[in-house]
Amino acid sequence: MTDTEDFEAQRASNAKAPITSTMMAAPLRVTDILRRAEQIFADQRIVSRLAPGVVETMTFAEAAQAARRLASALAALGVQQGARVATLMWNHANHLVAYYGIPAAGAVLHTLNPRLSPEDLAYIIADAGDDIVIVDEDLLPLWRQVEAHVRPRHVIVNGKPDAAHDIAWSELLAANALADWPEGTFDENTAAAICYTSGTTGRPKGVVYSHRSVVLQAFGTIAPDCFNLSARSVTFTLTPMFHVNAWGLPFAALMAGSVVVLPGPRITPEEILDLIEAERVSIAFGVPTIWTGVIQALSGERSWKLPEGLMLVSGGAAPSPEMFRTFDRHGIYLQTGWGMTETSPIASQTWLLPAHGSLSDEERIKVRASNGLPLPFIEFRIASEDGTVLPWDGSSQGELQCRGPWVTQNYIGHPAPIPATTPDGWLKTGDVAVIRPDGYVQLVDRLKDLIKSGGEWISSVDMENAIAELAGVAEAAVIAVADEKWGERPVALVCPRAGTSLTAREVSTHLQSRYPKWMVPERIEIVSELPKTGTGKLNKLLMRQQLGANG
C-alpha cells in the first residue's frame, strides 16, 4: 500500500478477507528439551546414587551425547519410527539418557515397573508391543522370569549381560556415533511415552503420552505455583522413573536446567537424608511412604544439616495432616497435590493464596492437606453417579472428573482404544471429591474405598488420618468388610512405629473421642506391616482378601 491509496477502500477490502496467524509451525518435541539443555546447561549435573556409598555424576552435555549415541544405536538395531522401547531400570543417569535417546530414535519410551509380577510385566510388554527392552543388571533375575513369556527383539543390559543374546549398554553406545537431534516438520501429537496404571483390580491399563502432552506438562510444572523449578533448583526424584515418568521430572528438571539427583535402587531413609544434605537438595519428590520413613529417621539418633527452605512434594496418596505438622516442626515444607497415570500425572498442586496468610496454623494445614488447584489448562469438575455436574460448595460429593492437554482420552486397547471419559469428554478418575468455592479440590475417598454402613458413608481416608495423629502410629489402613446387619463395617489395621507399643484399645479410645460411636470400628488390628502395591500405595484389595472381606 502506498500513501496515496484510499485507506478506507483497502480497509473494507481487507476486512472481508480471513486473517491467519503468521507464527512459525514449531512443534513441541521432547528431545528439544535435552537439545537446549546440552547447549545452555552443559555443565549442570545429574547425580546418581547407584548403591550405598556409590555416587556418580554425569553432566547434561554428557547425558545428551549418550542419548544421541543411544539413538543411533537403536537405529542400527533396526528400531523403526514409532517402535516401543521398554526400560526396566531404577532412577539413575542412564535411565534419564534412555528417556531422551529413545524418542531421539523416533521410538516410544515404555517404562516397566519392576515391582510388578513377571506375568503382569509380560502382559504389559505384550499389550504395548515392545520391540526392545533395556534392563538394569541387577534386575536381570526378574527379567529372565519375564522372558519366559515374551521375547522382544533385543535385550540391552545396563551393566554386564549374563546371557549370550544380550547386548551391553556401554559397548553398544561406544560402537555408535552421535546421532543428530531430530529436526524439521513433526507432528507433536506423535506418541512419546507409555505408562501403565497399577490398578489394584484387573489388569494394568496403558496410556500413551504425546510429545505435546509431555512438554506442556513440563511447562505447567516448572511454574512457581507448582514445583518452582529453575537453574538454581536441586531436584531429588525419589518417585520412580518407572512410575508415571517420575511425575514428568526427567523432562521438567532438564527444561528448567535444575540439578538432578537420583536415588538408584533400595535407598534407605538415612541415605535419603545423607544425599539431601550432601547435594543441598532444594526440592524432593516421593510418595507418603517415603516421607514416613524419613520422619522416623529424623526422630532417631542421627542428625542432618538440611538445606534451608527444603521442600518435599508428596504424591500418589494423601499425606496425613499430622505429616504436615511433623515436617513443619523440622523446618521442612511439605506440599501435595493430585494426579494419576491418566493425567501424566500432575493435574493439581496445593499452594497457598495470599488470603491464607490470615488463617491459623491448623486451618492452613487443612488447606495444605487438600488436593489443591488445577494447573493452567487443566480443568476439574465433580459429578454425581447419574452425570449431574455438582456445585463447588465444599460439601457436594461426586466423582472427580478432569480434562486438559495432558489428560488421557483412552487406554490402549486391541483392536480399538478403551474409552476413559464421560460421553462429553471428561476423564472419569474414580476418585470422590468435593470442590470448595475457592476452587480447592478435596478428595474424600476412592469410590471403592468409601465405606457404606447402615446407609451412611464413612471415609476411610479421614479415619486413617485420625489414627495417624496418635503418637506411636507409623501407618494405618481402614477398609470395608461385609456385614450382615450394616452392609459394610470399617476395619482398622494399624502399624506402630518401631520400638513403640500400641494397643487396639488405645486406638479405639482415640477414635471414640473423634467419631460418633457407630463409625468406630469394632475390629482394630495391630500389625507389623501394611501390604503395598507395586507403586507403594496401600494395597486395600489384598487387605480385604486377607480379611475375607468384600473386596
Would residue 90 show up in a list of annotated catalytic residues for this protein? no
Within residues 278-307, the interface with a copy of itself by CB under 8 A covers none
Residues in 132-161 at the binding interface with a copy of itself, rule: CB under 8 A = 149-152
Decide if 205 contacts 196 (C-beta within 8 A): yes
Q: What residues have CB less than 8 Å from 424, skipping those under 6 apart?
A: none
Q: How many residues bind a copy of itself (CB under 8 A)?
A: 107
Binding a copy of itself (rule: CB under 8 A), the pick from 404, 490, 521, 534 is 404
Mark whether 485 is an active-site residue.
no
Counting contacts by CB under 8 A, is residue 17 touching a copy of itself? yes
228 near a copy of itself, rule: CB under 8 A: yes
Residue 457 annotated in active site? yes
**Least distance to a copy of itself, CB of residue 29, Å:** 9
Q: What's the closest the beta carbon of residue 542 comes to a copy of itself, in angstroms?
A: 18
Long-range contacts of 411-416, Cβ-Cβ distance < 8 Å, separation of 24 or more: 411/197, 411/205, 411/206, 411/207, 412/127, 412/128, 412/194, 412/205, 412/206, 412/207, 412/208, 414/127
37-56 binders of a copy of itself (CB under 8 A):
39-40, 42-43
Per CB under 8 A, 79 contacts a copy of itself: no
Residues 229-258 touching a copy of itself, rule: CB under 8 A, are: 229-233, 255-257
Determine, following the binding rule CB under 8 A, whether residue 550 of this chain makes contact with a copy of itself: no
Q: Which of 87, 111, 190, 197 is catalytic?
A: 197
**What's the grid cell of residue 260?**
538432578
Chain centroid to CA 350: how far? 15
The single-letter DSSP state of residue 233 is -
Can residue 222 be called a binding residue for a copy of itself (CB under 8 A)?
A: yes
Distances (CA, A) of 47 to 178, 234, 235, 261: 23, 10, 10, 5
From the list 4, 21, 201, 303, which residue makes contact with a copy of itself (rule: CB under 8 A)?
A: 21
Q: Which of 66, 98, 104, 108 binds a copy of itself (CB under 8 A)?
A: 108
Smallest distance, a copy of itself to C-beta of residue 300, A: 32
Three-state SS annotation for 169-232: HHHHHHCCCCCCCCCCCCCCCCEEEEEECCCCCCCCCEEEEEHHHHHHHHHHHHCCCCCCCCCC
Q: Please tell me what DSSP assigns to residue 359.
A: S
Contact letters for a copy of itself, residues 335-374 (x by CB under 8 A): ----------------x-xxx-----------------xx
Figure out which of the listed residues 78, 119, 361, 387 binds a copy of itself, where binding follows CB under 8 A: 119
CA distance 102 to 79: 10
**Is 342 among the residues known to form the active site?**
yes
Scanning residues 418 to 447, which ones bind a copy of itself (CB under 8 A)?
A: 420-421, 425, 427, 438-439
Going by C-alpha positions, the residue among 152, 146, 156, 86 that lies closest to residue 121 is: 146
DSSP letter, residue 314: E
Active site amino acids: 197, 342, 452, 457
